[in-house]
Amino acid sequence: MAQLSWYDELTTDQAAEVRGLLAAAESTDGVAPVGEAVRLRMRPGAHGSKHLLAHLNGELAGYAHVDMLGDSGGHKVAEFAVHPKYRHQGVGEALVKALPLQDSLRVWAHGGHPDAEKLAEKLGFRKVRELLRMRLRVESELPEPKIPEGITIRPFVPGKDEAAVVYVNHRAFDWHPEQGSMSIEDVRAKEEEDWFDQKGFLLAFNADERLVGFHWTKVHTPDLGEVYVVGVDPDSQGGGLGKALTLVGLRHLREQGVKEVMLYVESDNAAAVSVYTKLGFTLWDADVQYAR
C-alpha cells in the first residue's frame, strides 16, 4: 500500500522529484498530466496549494495537487498523476480517496485518459466539464487578418501593460472558472517562464489608445505553438477583432517556424468552437473534469 504524505509547500528536492514523475507520465501518455498552474504552484513560496505525495518501495509513485483557492464557482480543484511504473497498483485510487472536500471537489483528467474514466466511475464521479484541445497545421496559407478600423496592434511591454491586460482579461472571461481570475502577479510570474516572449504577446488598442483585446501566444517546441489566450473586451466584441487577433497570432507563430498550433476551448462555447473550426482547427483530444 502506498504511503501518503501531505505538504503545504514542496522542497526543492521534492519539486524536482515530482517533475520527474510528471515527465515520465507525459512521455508515456503523450499529454501533460497536470496544467501549467500546478507547475507554477510547485515553486518555492507559492501558496494556496496542498501537495500529496505517494511513495511505494521508497520511490515516488504518485502525486496530487489541490488548488485550495478554488475556481470562480467555489470548487477546490485537483489534478494528479501516477508514475507509469506504478500504475494498476491502487496508487491512483489511494490519491483520489485522500483528496479533501469530496462533495465540492473537481478533478481534472488531462487527455481524457481511459484509466481516469474507469477510476471516476468506480469512485462515483461524473463528467461535469470538457475542455477541447484543437490543432491546426500552419504551413499552408492563412487568411489575411482584417483589422477593424482604428485598431493598432503592438507587442506587450513588461512593466507597462500588465494592469491593462488583467483588466481586459477579467472583463472578457468573467464567466470562466479559472481564466477570469488572472492577476498582475500571475502575469509577472509567467514573464519569468522560459517560454515567455513579449513579441508573441500581441495587444490591440483603439483610437483612444485603450487596450481592447490581446492574443498571447506560446511556443512549446520548435514545431508546436499555442493560441494561449485570446481576449477581447466585451465592448469591442462582434466586430471581428477576435478573429483578426487570432490570425495575427497564428502568422506570428508560423514566422517562428512552428508547423502546428494548438489551443484549448470549452466544449460548450459553441461560438468559439465554430470560429476555430472555420479557421481549420480540428479536434485533438480533450481534458475532462469530474465531480461527485
Q: Which domains does the chain have, with CATH numbers?
A: 3-124 (3.40.630.30), 135-286 (3.40.630.30)
- Extract the annotated binding site: 36, 178, 218, 226, 230-232, 237-243, 264
- Extract the annotated binding site for acetyl-CoA: 230-232, 237-243
**pLDDT (0 to 100) of residue 179:** 86
Question: What are the helix (H) ranges across the chain?
Answer: 12-29, 36-41, 91-98, 114-122, 162-172, 184-191, 241-255, 270-278
**pLDDT (0 to 100) of residue 84:** 97
**pLDDT (0 to 100) of residue 205:** 98
Residues contacting 133, CB < 8 A, separation 6+: 262, 263, 264, 283, 284, 285, 286, 287
**pLDDT (0 to 100) of residue 194:** 94
Task: Work out the pLDDT band at 1, boundaries 50, 70, 90.
Answer: confident
The rounded distance, in Å, linking the Cα atoms of 182 and 170 is: 7
Q: Is the pLDDT of residue 4 over 90?
A: yes
Maximal C-alpha separation, the chain = 64
The rounded distance, in Å, linking the Cα atoms of 101 and 120 is: 16
Beta strand ranges found along 192-273 (DSSP E): 201-205, 211-221, 224-232, 260-266
**pLDDT (0 to 100) of residue 45:** 84
Structure-derived torsion over alpha carbons of residues 291, 133, 214, 144, reported in degrees to the nearest 10: -150
Q: Mean pLDDT for the chain? A: 94
Task: Work out the pLDDT band at 145, boundaries 50, 70, 90.
Answer: very high
Say what the pTM is.
0.85
Task: Work out the pLDDT band at 74, boundaries 50, 70, 90.
Answer: confident
Sheet holding 201-205, edge to edge: 3-7, 49-56, 59-67, 76-82, 105-109, 282-291, 126-137, 260-266, 224-232, 211-221, 201-205, 152-155
